[in-house]
Amino acid sequence: MLLLFVLGLYGCQSTPKTTFSMERPNRHSFATEHFVVQSDIRLEANDPLVLALQTIREDLISALQIPKQREPVKVYLFSDEVSYRYYMQATWRDLPPRRAYFVGTSRELAVYSFVSPHVLEDLRHEFTHGILHASLQTVPLWLDEGIAEYFEVDAQVAERVSETHLQELSMAQTEGWNPGLYRLETIVDFRDLTQRDYAECWVWVHFMLNSTPEAKDVLLKYIQTLQTTKTPRRLMDSFEKAVPSYMPDLQSHIQQLLGGAVTKATE
């Protein structure tokens, strides 16, 4: 979950006693050039969590050609959910409850989460936000969430297909839904995004990265503009010119994904 103020399976370990504190995790620290993990548990360089963060950064650079980070991303990893929720509720009172958050301020770009069976999934999502905002001047909300939803899926899953989002899109189609990037581009507060919006953000990014060279080129060129401007134009304007058949192409892409999900389910 993204929050800007300028605005995640993890192996079983013994964990410190639950604390009710305004302090962020600080018992242990693991630092690289690109991120720092402060946690209540000790992490080594070969820890799955550390490796996952490194892999996500490499995948983002490879897929999106993003530039070098301006600053490292801070990751605050609580040992348990109660401690995490106590801190988040006390510090960010207006936030709805989520398992993890990315919070960008003028002071730091920070990811907050806790050790759970979902920690790698959660951190892949939030750390993606962090890398994007550490590398680009700005990222429109729909694209920020679409990319984070895309890279949240484990790279071992073919084409990073999200079964959850496909189920949402399948239901949406039965209700007469049609995708609309213009509408998504007008949403500026993440609290206004529905689960269907998240699914649509994901499928737009999935379509651009996995359909045609023309569609991918539009996305990559748009990301290049985000390196130098804080007031980007709408991507849809460029997309319509470069890929006039984008709407039937997107609908066909969705149907192919849904067909693949049905085939997988019946195997």
Give the model confidence (pLDDT) of 64-115 as tens digits: 999 999 999 999 999 999 999 999 999 988 888 899 999 999 999 999 999 9
| Tens of pLDDT, residues 174-218 | 999 999 999 999 999 998 999 999 999 999 999 999 999 999 999
Residues of the chain with CATH 3.40.30: 2-135
Using a pLDDT cut of 70, give the percent of the chain over it.
89
User: In the prediction, which pLDDT does 186 show?
Assistant: 96
Q: Give, in words, the CATH class of 2-135.
A: alpha beta
User: In the prediction, which pLDDT does 70 show?
Assistant: 94
Torsion sign, CA atoms 45, 63, 155, 199:
positive
User: In the prediction, which pLDDT does 95 show?
Assistant: 87
CA–CA separation, 74 and 117 (whole Å): 21
pTM of the model: 0.90
Rg of the chain over CA atoms, in angstroms?
Answer: 19
CB 165 within 8 A of CB 145: no
Residues 28-52 have a mean pLDDT of 94
